């Protein structure tokens, strides 16, 4: 837990009592702050009370005393409609911040590495944390990844915080003090919260510091980061390192015929083979690995240290997680793929796919996946998106089955894959949707898939 010395005897509001809000409230209480908490959900308030965190209606908060309202990022404060507490805070000139802002203030001597992008943030964050820990440094890894910022260990100089930071969190940061910032990619997502694609890009661009020296690691697989990088190169306090898996870049790192090329020197240098990492399958994971390599070099790790960490990285749950292998068929849990762009990464990594998809649809649906459909043998639809996705699959000549529930989809996909007998078959949960229609979160959805796969009996080949 992070202690916040500056908060003693000061008043703070906390809106939202999920994992992040509870961690914030605990940290503020331990720091002897005056804490006023609220969640619109009565069940969340009851759970908080079990942890000795009482709730107070925001109408009763001492607004004239509040230093800030620490805002849970999932709650809208501007678009599509601002929460009533956000409107009141604006009238009272009380800033809205996120927990990462408090971490910055509490542990200023540490080195901060921030990772953002539409997809790949969690894997890259975990990979960088693994790399730094293996190099012998103390490191706190969290943020949007899972461990709230204020639940991380208390670190100082010569130690590292590796923080996955979402667009929701970026727009709640008053300070820009990332020593290394990583922008992996930008594709349409969360447009209801940011108003437009331009609004989304502008928020992601705040990973760059305003004036403090910083290394920026920028993926070029999507156009917006590449465009931003050209502007950032003009800023003397920013050192930009570009990444690419399919073309040469200057002042960065790229892959040429499976080799890692370092172009940060006057002459290009081949560093190593870079396509043999067991838990980092697919082009997108090569991009994540490249980002980790660039960060490692930015903090003065040696190539051998970085490559060793990439080779023994254990991978992340729910991100192309290998669950089971039966005969010719591998079962992959990619529940974290909550939009089409994320699902494309998994679809592009396998052949003979028995694809489980659906849930609560995102804007754009399955647009952009057309070229990957020859890899799909059969699709299995679940959740709210099923009717719309069925029309799209039919238009793209992909056979499909309406299953509604994930367990039924998993069993039917497994039985058909084993019955068909194609070499290198993959039963792939990569939903291209949010999970909230049937599950609390993508983790619960992924765990349900894992349970169904582990309980599956391959000796019974009748479908449900």
Q: Tell me which residue of 57, 69, 59 sits closest to 10, measured CA to CA.
A: 69
Confidence of residue 5 (pLDDT cuts 50, 70, 90): very high
Say how far residue 442 (Cα) sits from the centre of its chain.
11
The per-residue pLDDT of the chain, averaged, comes to 95
Sign (positive/negative) of CA torsion 101, 163, 183, 79? negative
Tell me the per-residue pLDDT of 380-396, one tens digit each, with 9 for 90 and over: 999 999 999 999 999 99
| pTM to 2 decimal places | 0.83
Q: What is the pLDDT of residue 366?
A: 98
Which residues of 227-315 form beta strands (DSSP E)?
A: 238-244, 252-256, 259-262, 269-273
Q: What are the Cα distances from residue 44, in Å, to 41, 249, 302, 428?
A: 5, 49, 46, 34
Tell me the per-residue pLDDT of 408-452, one tens digit each, with 9 for 90 and over: 999 999 999 999 999 999 999 999 999 999 999 999 999 999 999
Spell out the domains of the chain, with CATH numbers in brackets.
Answer: 5-97 (3.40.50.720), 104-311 (3.40.1190.10), 321-455 (3.90.190.20)
Token reading at 114: 């921030």
């Amino acid at each position: 837990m992070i202690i916040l010395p500056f908060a003693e005897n000061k008043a703070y509001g906390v809106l939202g009592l999920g994992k992040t809000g509870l961690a914030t409230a605990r940290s503020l209480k331990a720091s002897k702050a005056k804490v006023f908490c609220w969640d619109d959900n009565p069940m969340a308030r009851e759970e908080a009370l079990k942890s000795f965190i009482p709730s107070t209606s925001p109408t009763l908060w001492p607004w004239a005393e509040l230093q800030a309202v620490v805002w849970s990022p999932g709650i809208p404060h501007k678009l599509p409609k601002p929460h009533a507490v956000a409107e009141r805070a604006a009238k009272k000139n009380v800033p809205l911040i996120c927990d990462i802002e408090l971490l910055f203030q509490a542990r200023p001597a540490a080195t901060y590495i921030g990772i953002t992008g539409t997809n790949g943030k969690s894997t890259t964050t975990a990979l960088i944390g693994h790399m730094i820990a293996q190099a012998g440094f103390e490191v706190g890894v969290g943020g949007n990844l899972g461990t709230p910022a204020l639940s991380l260990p208390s670190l100082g100089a010569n130690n590292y915080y590796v923080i996955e930071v979402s667009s929701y969190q970026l727009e709640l940061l008053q300070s820009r003090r990332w020593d290394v910032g990583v922008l992996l990619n930008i594709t349409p997502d969360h447009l209801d919260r940011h108003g437009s694609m331009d609004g989304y890009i502008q928020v992601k661009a705040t990973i760059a510091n305003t004036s403090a020296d910083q290394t920026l690691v920028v993926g070029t697989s999507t156009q917006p980061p590449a465009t931003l990088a050209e502007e950032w190169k003009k800023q003397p306090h920013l050192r930009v390192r570009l990444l690419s898996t399919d073309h040469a870049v200057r002042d960065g790192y790229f892959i040429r015929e499976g080799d890692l090329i370092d172009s940060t020197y006057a002459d290009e240098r081949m560093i190593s083979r870079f396509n043999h990492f067991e838990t980092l399958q697919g082009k997108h994971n090569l991009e994540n690995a490249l980002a980790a390599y660039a960060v490692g070099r930015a903090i003065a790790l040696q190539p051998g240290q970085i490559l060793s960490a990439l080779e023994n990285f254990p991978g992340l749950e729910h991100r192309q997680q290998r669950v089971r292998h039966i005969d010719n068929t591998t079962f992959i849990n990619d529940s974290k793929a909550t939009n089409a762009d994320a699902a494309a990464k998994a679809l592009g990594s396998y052949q003979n796919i028995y694809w489980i998809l659906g849930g609560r649809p995102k804007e754009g649906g399955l647009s952009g996946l057309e070229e990957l459909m020859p890899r799909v043998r059969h699709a299995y639809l679940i959740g709210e998106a099923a009717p719309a996705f069925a029309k799209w699959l039919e238009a793209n000549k992909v056979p499909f089955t309406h299953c509604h529930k994930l367990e039924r989809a998993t069993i039917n996909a497994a039985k058909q894959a084993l019955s068909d007998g194609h070499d290198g078959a993959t039963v792939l949960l990569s939903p291209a949707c949010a999970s909230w229609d049937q599950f609390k979160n993508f983790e619960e959805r992924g765990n349900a898939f894992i349970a169904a796969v582990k309980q599956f009996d391959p000796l019974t080949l009748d479908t449900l």
